[in-house]
Chains A and B, each alone.
Chain A
Amino acid sequence: MNYAPPASGRTSPPAPLAPVDAIVLGASAGGVNAFLAILSALPSSFALPLVAVVHIPRDKPSLLVKVLGARAHLAVREAGDKDRLLPGLVIAPPDYHMLLDVDGGRRHLAGAQDVHLALSDDAPVSYSRPSIDVLFQSAAEVFGPRVAGVVLTGANDDGALGLQAIKAYGGLCAVQSPDEAPAREMPDAAIASAKPQLVAPLNDLIQWIVALDAHRARDTEGTAVHE
């Protein structure tokens, strides 16, 4: 391993691990700092695609990519319609929903290589566009159990239904501890709705995200050629 786990000084809770093809994340108030913490901790070798919705003012050009990219060892990009799902972090553009879709419209096919991003300007959902629920629902539909959903800090309840969908399809769900989050409404709502397998402070979530990538690498060792 060419990275050090973040120095949280905590012992990690027993976190569920399963092979996943992507991690979807959602945050609202306080979310930019949460993503800065995550990105500064992930090594350049991190291979799982990260797909994120962060609520930002709709009519402002997004500076998120610049702000987050400066701190990241991974590629950080804004989603374009029909872009392939790649390693690194892709962020929903302002004023569009971002969904995942499978080439040819079929689902439960294979891995992330068959998945692309699809944008929509359908009406805001609970006043949000992009909506975390819309992204998470589509992620559940496309990946079934092979996706992890993470709900971070936020002052509304976006993400609660989406995380519930991921759980219903057998995926992994994690939520930032409401006591630690700068805004606890979104974590509280997600916990109540989805009953996630993991509720933990941000630093522990980061360790879990790193472990998911390592788990995926082990899972594919038999079939893929590494180094």
Chain B
Amino acid sequence: MRASDEQSSESDGQSSESMFDMELTLLLEAIFQRYHYDFRDYAKSSLRRRLRQAMERFGVSSLSVLQDRVLHDAHALPILLDYLTIQVSDMFRDPTHFLALRRDVLPILATYPSLKIWIAGCSTGEEFYSMAILLEEEGLLDRAIMYATDVNEEALRKAEAGVYALDRVAGFSKSYAAAGGKSSLGDWYTAAYNGVVFDRRLRRNVVFSDHSLSTDGDFTETHLVLCRNVLIYFDRELQDRAIGLFAQSLVPRGFLALGSKENLRISSHAAAFDTFDMHERIYRKQ
């Protein structure tokens, strides 16, 4: 039914695509062998998109050429890591989630004399500052130790700096208010560097730490793990590894907060958790 030129472009499309996947596998293996960053169990659909964007950025025609560049040019790796790992999240993304944490979870956490909170995959810090503001407003930051972790050290540096572009702040403020914010978000930042910088006091009890959910272990005796819109980038096996780490890390009756479209359904660790708030994807370890 199709014209012959379309037939041939179809088969070209398919063979070059399976070549792309083969090169993708090799590239991830090379990055792991050379730099010990393990993306081999990341969801392939997103990796394909991001690596195509990276190819454009590097001006290379194939992933093999990109692999050559990354193996031999130390400056190429951090650029590529930004494509593979950086999530630009918003502060108080899904305000109802933070409202549920404030209203339903923090009063329970307030019964502990001290708190450990792990923000896994904190990227450039939006989720950390959201949580720190929540804790401070509920009078809990002084007795909390926060671990904010990510595989991308450059992202961690940005998280630690707490500087965000001015054009993002209106959205942050709106979500802060919708999340039950007790004052104005403006009370938590000052204008600086063509953007805003968040109050350093929010960082007084946080440790920013380089950590991989693919290859590293857990933090012990945490009361709340916040890991939102990180697992969607993992395949099922790596999702399961990460959820297993959270289960190990949490104290009995500790809380796990996921992204609004993530769930524990397919995890082998699902039985270790009760559903605390289905709509907000907040779970509680048994």
Binding site for B on A (CB under 8 A): 16, 18, 79-82, 93, 96, 99-108, 118-123, 134, 137-138, 141-142, 144-145, 168-170
The reply to whether A123 and B88 contact each other, CB–CB distance below 8 Å, is: yes
Contacts of A121 in B (CB 8 A): 87, 89, 229, 232, 259
Other-chain contact of A81, B14, B50, B231 (Cβ < 8 Å): B231
Contacts of A81 in B (CB 8 A): 231-232, 259, 261-263
Given the known interface contacts A122-B46, A170-B6, the answer about A108 and B18 at a Cβ–Cβ threshold of 8 Å is yes
Task: Report how far A90 CA is from B87 CA in the complex, Å.
Answer: 25
8 tightest A-B contacts by CB? A170-B10, A101-B45, A105-B44, A99-B45, A118-B45, A81-B232, A169-B13, A119-B232
B235 at the interface (CB under 8 A from A): yes
- CB under 8 Å from chain A, chain B span 212-264: 229, 231-233, 235-236, 239, 259-263
Residue of A nearest to B231 (CB): A81
Task: Report how far A77 CA is from B260 CA in the complex, Å.
Answer: 15
Extra contacts, 8 of them, besides A119-B261, A170-B9 (Cβ < 8 A), are A93-B261, A96-B261, A107-B18, A120-B45, A121-B259, A122-B50, A144-B17, A145-B10
B103 at the interface (CB under 8 A from A): no
B49 at the interface (CB under 8 A from A): yes
The reply to whether A122 and B45 contact each other, CB–CB distance below 8 Å, is: no
Contacts of A102 in B (CB 8 A): 44
Contacts of B10 in A (CB 8 A): 144-145, 168-170
Nearest CB in chain B: distance from A103 CB, A: 8
B266 at the interface (CB under 8 A from A): yes
Our count of residue pairs bridging A and B at CB distance below 8 angstroms stands at 90
Contacts of A123 in B (CB 8 A): 88
Task: Report how far A18 CA is from B7 CA in the complex, Å.
Answer: 14
Contacts of A118 in B (CB 8 A): 43, 45-46, 232
- CB under 8 Å from chain A, chain B span 132-175: none
Q: Can you give 18 contacting A-B residue pairs, CB < 8 Å? A: A16-B1, A18-B1, A80-B263, A81-B232, A81-B262, A82-B239, A101-B43, A101-B44, A101-B45, A103-B236, A107-B17, A108-B14, A108-B17, A122-B46, A122-B49, A138-B49, A141-B45, A170-B9
Contacts of B233 in A (CB 8 A): 120
Given the known interface contacts A101-B44, A123-B88, A145-B10, the answer about A170 and B2 at a Cβ–Cβ threshold of 8 Å is yes
B104 at the interface (CB under 8 A from A): no
Residue of B nearest to A169 (CB): B13
The reply to whether A82 and B45 contact each other, CB–CB distance below 8 Å, is: no
Task: Report how far A103 CA is from B235 CA in the complex, Å.
Answer: 8
Nearest CB in chain B: distance from A166 CB, A: 10
Contacts of B87 in A (CB 8 A): 121
Task: Report how far A16 CA is from B6 CA in the complex, Å.
Answer: 14
Residue of B nearest to A140 (CB): B13
Task: Report how far A18 CA is from B235 CA in the complex, Å.
Answer: 31
Task: Report how far A120 CA is from B42 CA in the complex, Å.
Answer: 12
Contacts of B229 in A (CB 8 A): 121
Nearest CB in chain B: distance from A175 CB, A: 17
Interface centre among B1, B18, B43, B262 (most CB of A within 10 A): B43
